[in-house]
């Protein structure tokens, strides 16, 4: 995979794309960054035309997400077209609407995996987050049906103040279901810039406990080790794959570097995808930024190991600036104050 990523980067190929088919959803999760009204999502023909263009551009990994993808009645038609184009397809779903027939069809189409968010093993906690009564029971049943078809399922546990103590039981539940398990300690600001939902996220001691749990992060000594000095190679690296080998397409055809990086780069309803990918001025700016161009982060002790997200930095006002959430993660992981932590503390 590292060789494949490097080859795509060298050739300027968009190896992976997340394509949100709808923002409509049957759940109303308290931490969701989307608005759920339909502002005119792309038709079946439009979506399939874009898929043709993605195949032409060299895209291989395709993630269908939402909203809830099963809100689209043409989902299986879209999946069939994507698989006919030989994309490696993953689906993000809450699994609420998956029955035996849907699970069987997903397997028949050769979808590689399904990612399902489970917030707690306790219905009262999970359902309070989704605001949909019975959602935990239905999502778990959907996972069971997918696993019965032999499909790979990844259970994602987004950690918030309301459920942070439940992750050991959620991990055990995933193991009982035969699913993979991963945590996500990041709450993303809303696409309209509203950052109020960040107050739902964990930090401080909670984040430290998560990052010092070997059951979640593996080798503690390696994961929490002091970061090595930044070399010239590190200074020449790009912040992440967004805009380089990965991008995001909204249900309305808008192209962004990433789902967390809401910088408009074009719209496939008016331009061919490859024209946007190759000629967007916004994507050109994103691609021009190396680690050495980050005014604060380039001098930080954590530069070589930080998970800094340029999209989250962009929501704070500057794609070259701090992602304060990642500063907090670096400190929670190592206990070492970084330049970003000092800079935030000195702000008036």
Q: Is the pLDDT of residue 261 over 90?
A: yes
Paired tokens of 40: 């005119």
Write the pLDDT tens digit of every residue in 290-335: 989 999 999 999 999 988 999 999 999 999 999 999 999 999 999 9
| Residue 261 burial by Cβ neighbours in a 10 Å radius (0-12, 13-18, 19+) | buried
What's residue 329's pLDDT? 92
Under a CB-based contact definition with an 8 Å cutoff, are residues 270 and 260 in contact? Answer: no
The Cα–Cα gap between 149 and 169 comes to 24
Chain center to CA of 252: 19
CB 152 within 8 A of CB 48: no
**123-130 helix and 135-148 helix, angle to the nearest 10 degrees:** 100
The rounded mean pLDDT for the chain is: 93
Using DSSP, state whether 117 is helix, strand or coil.
strand
Whether pLDDT at 346 is above 50: no
How many CB atoms lie under 10 A from the CB of residue 4? 13
User: What is the pTM for the complete model shown?
Assistant: 0.93
Task: Please report which residue ranges of the chain form alpha helices under DSSP H.
Answer: 2-11, 44-57, 75-84, 100-109, 123-130, 135-148, 167-177, 204-211, 214-217, 220-223, 232-235, 273-279, 281-287, 310-315, 324-334, 339-345
Neighbours of 209 (CB within 10 A): 15
Q: What is the mean pLDDT of residues 131-158?
A: 98
The reported pLDDT for the residue numbered 233 is: 84
pLDDT surpasses 80 at 342: no
Per-position DSSP letters for 136-202, written without gaps between them = HHHHHHHHHHHHHTT-EEEEEEE-BTTTGGGHHHHHHHHHHHT-EEEEE--PPPPTTS--GGGGGB-
Give the pLDDT confidence score for residue 341 in this predicted structure: 63
Reported as a single tens digit per residue, the pLDDT across 62-111 is: 999 999 999 999 999 999 999 999 999 999 999 999 999 999 999 999 99
Per-residue confidence band for 220, with pLDDT thresholds at 50, 70 and 90? confident
Q: How far is CA 245 from the centre of its chain?
A: 15
Assess whether pLDDT exceeds 90 at residue 177: yes
Segment 256-283 mean pLDDT: 96
Q: Taking a C-beta distance cutoff of 8 angstroms, is the pair 277, 283 a contact? A: yes
pLDDT at 348: 43
- If DSSP codes are grouped into helix, strand and coil, which group holds residue 266? strand
| Token duo for residue 43 | 């038709």
- If DSSP codes are grouped into helix, strand and coil, which group holds residue 253? coil
Compute how many other C-beta atoms are within 10 angstroms of the C-beta atom of residue 231. 11
């Amino acid at each position: 995979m590292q060789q494949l990523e490097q080859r795509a980067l060298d050739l300027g190929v968009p190896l992976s794309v997340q394509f949100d088919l709808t923002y409509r959803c049957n759940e109303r999760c308290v931490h969701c960054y989307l608005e759920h009204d339909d502002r005119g999502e792309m038709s079946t023909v439009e979506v399939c035309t874009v898929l043709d263009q993605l195949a032409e551009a060299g895209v291989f990994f395709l993630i269908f997400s939402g909203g809830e993808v099963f809100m689209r009645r043409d989902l299986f038609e879209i999946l069939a077209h994507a698989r006919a184009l030989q994309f490696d397809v993953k689906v993000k779903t809450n699994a609420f609407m998956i029955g035996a027939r849907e699970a069987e069809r997903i397997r028949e189409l050769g979808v590689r995996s399904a990612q399902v968010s489970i917030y707690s093993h306790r219905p009262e906690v999970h359902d309070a987050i989704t605001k949909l009564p019975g959602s935990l029971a239905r999502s778990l049943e959907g996972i069971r049906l997918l696993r019965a078809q032999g499909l790979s399922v990844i259970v994602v546990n987004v950690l918030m103040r309301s459920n942070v103590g439940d992750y050991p039981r959620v991990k055990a539940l995933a193991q009982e279901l035969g699913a993979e398990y991963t945590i996500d300690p990041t709450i993303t600001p809303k696409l309209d810039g509203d950052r109020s939902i960040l107050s739902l996220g964990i930090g401080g001691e909670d984040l430290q406990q998560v990052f010092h749990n070997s059951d979640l992060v593996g080798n503690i000594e390696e994961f929490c080790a002091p970061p090595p000095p930044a070399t010239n190679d590190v200074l020449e690296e790009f912040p992440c794959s967004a805009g380089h080998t990965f991008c995001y397409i909204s249900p309305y055809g808008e192209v962004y570097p990433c789902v967390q990086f809401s910088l408009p780069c074009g719209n496939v309803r008016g331009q061919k995808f490859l024209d946007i990918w190759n000629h967007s001025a916004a994507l050109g700016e994103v691609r021009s930024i190396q680690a050495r161009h980050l005014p604060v982060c380039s001098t930080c002790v954590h530069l070589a190991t930080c998970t800094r997200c340029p999209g989250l930095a962009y929501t704070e006002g500057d794609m070259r600036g701090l992602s304060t959430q990642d500063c907090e993660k670096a400190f929670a992981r190592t206990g070492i104050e970084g330049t970003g932590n000092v800079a935030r503390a000195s702000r008036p």
